[in-house]
Structure formats: structure tokens, C-alpha cells
Structure 1
Amino acid sequence: MCVYYCLCRYRLRSKVEIESVTDDFSCWQRFGQVLTQKSSEEPDAASLGWGGGFDRSGQSSSQGNNCGWLWYRDPRLDCLGFRGIFPSNTTPPLVEADKETNEENYLLWRLEKGVAEGSAEIPKGEAVPLEYNLAGLNGISFDKGCYVGQELIARTHHRGVIRKRLLPLKFVNDSGKEVEQKVAPRSEVIDASSRKKAGTVTTALGSRGLGLLCLDEAFKGSLIIRGLDDVKVQTIKPEWWPAEWLSDQQEQTSTA
């Protein structure tokens, strides 16, 4: 619904009619394994990403195909699977019986991969795209387009000086057992010995979360939540991260 209102806001004087169909269609996500093979049954994801190809979903919609839209690979990471928009009163193709799951399980999967989405996790007007790893998630183009702050983002990217990044977090107690529902977004992550702030929890669900942390402090292994000294914070480097993201930071630290 928020997308509908945003579209209406920026329509300006264009002769375009915008109608909300949120009751008629639902968004689905297929996830749980790395789907890399292509077959006649798997969706063609060529229309996503910077390449831009034949948009079958757009054709399906414009021609009124009663099968709904098709599956398309999530452009951010292969491990996030496929997403599609289908009529709300039908089960999408390729969804096996008894394999539907709660949306919360997908959220946990995404948090474990270190991927934030939406204005609740990527604060509008505050977030620095490079700190939220959008350069590695097909979210920024450095060779086309113009936007507010483009020169700063491009200069920072090419210099490689990014001191904070969004990281997956796990919350545990002194014995290493996962701690559920004790940490809230905006909680401060601090070094247990120096009491120096290392960053902030941006998203929390159960014993998992995302945090924007200083890379100098993130992997020291002595992090806790301010005000909750019995809650330890374990940081996890996502497998999809380019090696230079940490090597560049280590080089900057040793030089300093």
C-alpha cells in the first residue's frame, strides 16, 4: 500500500491513472537453497539486474494473462531465491504441497544472509548505501544515472574507505546459548572491556539481527548490548561478501 501512495505522490501532472490492486495480488518468495540451474521449468531471470532483457512479467500483466506474473530470480543474491506476484486466490506454480512457510522464516533467512530491505531497515534520508552493502547487492550503478549524493557515493566507493558496514548478528548468553526476544532495534552494541560503542542494532528477530558496526570493532569477539551485559553479540561475515571489503579495512587500520 505504501508503494501505491508513493506512486501517486510522484505522478505530478502526468495523465496516468494509478489503482491499488493489493487485495487482488500477493507477493511470494521461493527460498531455502541456492537455485542456480536453468531449465524449462525454472523462471528466466534475465529481465532483472543491470543487464535488462525481455520482461515476461510485464508482458503477462499487459496482455492480461490469467496465469498471473512469473517467477524471477531475486536480483540481490542467488541464495534469496525467486520472487513473483500472483493472484491472491491461487497457489503459484512450482510451489510444492506442504512447503509453504511463515513469512517470519524468510525474514530470518534474509537476516542470516545480511540483507536489509525496506525503510524500516534502511532508514530513509539517513542510510549510506555503501554501508548497507548495496554495492554488492546489485543496488547501485556506478556508470549510469544521476541522483542526489552520487558524487560522494562514487568517490567513497572508488577510494574504498568504508568504515562501517551492515552485518548479521547472533545474540547469545555467557554459555553460548542463543537468547530470544531480548534485543530491540536501536540497541547499542559496545565493547565489553572499553565500553566503547561499536555500532547499533538495526533489526532484531528472535536471537538474530542486523547491525551497523564499525569494522575496526566488529570482529574483536567481545561485544555486548549496552544495558544487557549478559547478552553477547556474535558478528558473522556473510559468505557473499567480496574479500576486499575486509582486506581494505585491515590495510587502512594498519596504515593508521
Structure 2
Amino acid sequence: MPPPILQNLLRKTPSVAPILNRGVLAVTGSHSTEFLNGLLSSSVREPVRNRYSSFLHAQGRVMYDVFLYAATNGYFLEYDSRASEAPPLLSYLKRHVLRSKVKIRNMADEYDIWAAWGSSEDTQWETGRQWDWARSGAIEPVWNATHDWPWGTREGIIHDRRAVGMGSRLLVKKGTQPQAIATHDIVSSDEYVLHRIMHGVPEGIHDIPPMQSFPMDSNLDVMGAVDFRKGCYVGQELTVRTYHTGVIRKRILPVTIHKPAQEICEDPPLQFPHNLDLKPVSVNPDRQGPRPRGTGKLLSTHKGVGLALLRMEHVSGVQQGDLRLEFEVSNAGDKTSTWIASPWWPDWWPQEPQQRVESEVDPSSDL
């Protein structure tokens, strides 16, 4: 969970914020559900329902993380619309239509995306969940079948179940404001970025670089965007093989960013450059074993906290006091400054079952 010293970063009042750089497509027609089910990493079945998912490349890397809003005769599809290495989503979908009875339209000029969090209305639907662990380290949320659909059924409103406490996601007609403004403070989009960083939720091209990121490394499994048991979809082969026979060696975690002699940054920049290398540095002279390999990557940052793609062995080393993760930032006059990124596990993160831990240790176990 966040270090206690960071608790003052969390807003204490209900808040609503616009989310920038989000495109909206309408995918409608009698074959829209079947069409999307063949392309998305999660199951898309009748009836038409809200959900979170992703489009993968044929080699199993993420192109887009997306939200689907149930609509008349189909879906509104929300995604990061900024240019990237991934093919434009509209043209990508149109290439796959073939003879399907599907119509795809760009609706970005008609809708905006907002997020609301912090009120009882934003959390009253929040129910407990169980977790399904694979031997590889992949994790899936298991929703209680006796409760309502986890992502909500109201038109234009998605229960953001990527993490506990994220609130709701709102599809709003352009030129209007969400109804939540009557009970929520309107805050900037940067406050939303801070909100999801503090909850350990990656989103969009800066956190999940298109054509580079694997879904489990980016926590898409934990956030409910991957179904490992559905039929064929683009990118399925590598994803399912990793689930059954691979090992998840990286995860995206929140980090505190500070100077070497500080616990937190006393006067942090609003943002640091994206994609900086986080290098593991040994701080325990008695540490045994090989030199730590590889680096992490710093992703979104705001007000001295951020998200980072980290090797699990580095996280363990930091927790044991053997390592720290450093990065350098260029300053004026060709000077550089050294910073530390200290990771923590979000308080909602699933706890590994003890029986699974014991089976990893005991080679005679059949589990």
C-alpha cells in the first residue's frame, strides 16, 4: 500500500475529471459482438455489456487497452487516440470487417470521457473478488456470479474494476458535463493521472507502449482484460502459452520518486520524462548472488510518484534492502541528477495463496 507519508496526495472529496487523448469509435451491427470477440483479448458475448479489454498484435503484444460501453445495436469503444507504433484503430478494425454485418464510425467529435471517484455512489457497487492464479504468475479476477455484472449495466457509465477504488468511467456527449458535477469537485486531468498512479493502474500509450508491451507485464490480466479460456483471437497463441508454460517476470507497480537522501521528494517536478531506465544498484555489501540484470522503465509520473515496469527480482531486492532503483535526469548545463524510484504494492493487489507458494517450493506437490 502507499507509504503513509504519501496519504496527503489522495483527494479526500468526491472528484470528477476529464480524461484527455481518448478516442471513441462506434461498432454497431448484428455481428458487432461476434466481430469484437474475434479481436479482443477478453470474451465479448451477448447480451451487449460494458467491459474492459485490449487489442493484441499477432505476436501477443498490446496495441490498445480499451473500454467497451454498451450501446444500441453494438458498442462505443474508447481508446488512446494518440499516434503510436500501433496501426490506427479505425483502419485496423475496418480491415477485419470483411463480410461481417458491422459498421464502424469515428465518434470522437461527439463524445468526451470523464472519470468520477471518491463518493459512495462511485463505490457502492464495489464487491469483493477472488483470484485465479496460474503457475506462471498470471492472475485473473473471479467475479461472484450472484452479484450484478461487474462492469455495470448503465448506459454510458462503466464501473472501473481495474482496481479497487478507481470509481466510474463516463461517456459524455461533447459540450455537456457529467451529472456527477452536482456532487463532485471538478478537477484537472492531471489529478486523474495521480489517482490512477496511486492505485497502480497503467493506461494508454505511455504506460503500455503499443507493439512493445506484453499483457501480463502490463497487469492486463489482473485488471480483467484477458480471458485465457476463450476461443481464437488475435494474439492468443503467445498469450495462452505464456499463461500455461511461461513465467511472469515483470509487473507495473507504483513508485515513490525521491533523492537518495530523502524518503519522498520535497519539491518534485510535476512530471519526469517517460521511458527512463531504472537501474538496479546494490546497496548491501554482504549481498550474495549474481549481479542484478536488466533495467526497469519509468512510465507516467506526477507530484513525486509514478508507475514503473519492473523486474520482480528487482522489487524483491528493494524490499529485502539489497538494491535500490536509480535513474538520471539531464538538467541545464549538461548536468545530471540522480533519483531513486522506490516501489510498493497497491493495497488491492491479490495476495498469493499460501498453498501455491508451498507447491513452488515442494517439487513433490501435484498442485
TM-score range, shorter chain: 0.7 to 0.9
Identify the residue that residue 225 of structure 1 maps to in structure 2.
327
How many Å separate the matches in 2 of 1:84 and 1:112?
Answer: 20
1:7 and 2:57 aligned: no
1:15-61, Cα deviation, whole Å (9 max, x unpaired): 765443333322111023674325xxxxxx95565xxx8x542xxxx
Given that 1:166 and 1:213 are in contact with CA atoms closer than 8 Å, whether structure 2 keeps it comes out as yes
| TM-score, length-scaled by structure 2 | 0.54
**Paired AA for residue 220 in structure 1:** G
Q: Cα distance 1:153–1:8, how it changes in 2: closer, same or farther (>3 A)?
A: closer
**Paired AA for residue 183 in structure 1:** F
Q: Cα distance 1:77–1:145, how it changes in 2: closer, same or farther (>3 A)?
A: farther
Given that 1:33 and 1:79 are in contact with CA atoms closer than 8 Å, whether structure 2 keeps it comes out as no
Alignment of 1:154-233 (within 5 A): 154-159=240-245, 161-173=247-259, 174-178=261-265, 179-181=268-270, 183-193=272-282, 197-221=294-318, 222-226=324-328, 230-233=338-341
**Paired AA for residue 239 in structure 1:** D
Aligned residue pairs: how many?
233
**Paired AA for residue 274 in structure 2:** P
Does 1 or 2 have the higher relative contact order (CA < 8 Å, sep 6+)?
2
Which structure has more strand as a fraction of its residues?
2
Q: Cα distance 1:99–1:56, how it changes in 2: closer, same or farther (>3 A)?
A: closer
Identify the residue that residue 50 of structure 2 maps to in structure 1.
none
Structure 1: gaps of 5 or more residues: 39-44, 58-68
Question: What secondary structure sits across from 2:342 in the alignment?
Answer: strand
Identify the residue that residue 61 of structure 1 maps to in structure 2.
none
Identify the residue that residue 159 of structure 2 maps to in structure 1.
73
How many Å separate the matches in 1 of 2:355 and 2:305?
Answer: 26
Alignment of 1:80-99 (within 5 A): 80-96=166-182, 99=185
Alignment of 1:55-70 (within 5 A): 55-57=153-155, 69=156
> Post-superposition shift, 1:9?
4.1
1:244 and 2:359 aligned: no
Question: What secondary structure sits across from 2:182 in the alignment?
Answer: coil
1:56-98, Cα deviation, whole Å (9 max, x unpaired): 42xxxxxxxxxxx4x2211322411111112233332232367
> Post-superposition shift, 1:103?
0.7
Of the three residues 219, 229, 241, the one matched with 1:143 is 229
Over the matched positions of the two proteins, sequence identity in percent amounts to: 27
**Paired AA for residue 325 in structure 2:** L
**Paired AA for residue 217 in structure 1:** H
Q: Cα distance 1:24–1:3, how it changes in 2: closer, same or farther (>3 A)?
A: closer
Q: Cα distance 1:196–1:159, how it changes in 2: closer, same or farther (>3 A)?
A: closer
What RMSD in Å do the two structures reach over aligned CA positions? 3.5
Given that 1:216 and 1:253 are in contact with CA atoms closer than 8 Å, whether structure 2 keeps it comes out as no
**Paired AA for residue 262 in structure 2:** S
How many Å separate the matches in 1 of 2:279 and 2:293?
Answer: 5
**Paired AA for residue 90 in structure 1:** T
How many Å separate the matches in 1 of 2:360 and 2:24?
Answer: 40
Question: What secondary structure sits across from 1:95 in the alignment?
Answer: helix
- Between 1:97-106 and 1:240-249, the stretch displaced more is 240-249
How many Å separate the matches in 2 of 1:162 and 1:218?
Answer: 13
Question: What secondary structure sits across from 1:210 in the alignment?
Answer: strand
How many Å separate the matches in 2 of 1:245 and 1:118?
Answer: 31
Q: Cα distance 1:167–1:252, how it changes in 2: closer, same or farther (>3 A)?
A: farther
Identify the residue that residue 49 of structure 2 maps to in structure 1.
none
1:85-122, Cα deviation, whole Å (9 max, x unpaired): 12233332232367100011011111122211123321
Given that 1:24 and 1:87 are in contact with CA atoms closer than 8 Å, whether structure 2 keeps it comes out as yes
| TM-score, length-scaled by structure 1 | 0.74
Q: Cα distance 1:125–1:21, how it changes in 2: closer, same or farther (>3 A)?
A: closer
> Post-superposition shift, 1:253?
9.8
Question: What secondary structure sits across from 1:244 in the alignment?
Answer: coil
Given that 2:256 and 2:264 are in contact with CA atoms closer than 8 Å, whether structure 1 keeps it comes out as no
